[in-house]
Amino acid sequence: MITAHLVGDERALARLRDLPVAINSALVRAITKLGIDLQRNVQQDELSGQMLAARSGSLKSSIDLRVDQSAAVVTATVFTDSAYAGAHEYGFSGTVNARASLRRITEAFGRPISGKIISVRAHSRRMDLPKRSFLRSALEDMAPAIRDEVETSLRETVTE
Which residues, in sequence order, are bridge partners of residue 93? 128
Query: Using one digit for the tens of pLDDT, what is the confidence trace for 29-48?
Result: 999 999 999 999 999 888 87
Per the model's pLDDT, the better-predicted residue between 121 and 157 turns out to be 121
Q: Average pLDDT of 41-69?
A: 84
Q: Rounded to whole angstroms, how far apart are CA atoms 160 and 155?
A: 9
Q: Is the pTM of this model over 0.95?
A: no
Nearest to 65 by CA among 75, 77, 82: 77
Q: Average pLDDT of 59-65?
A: 93
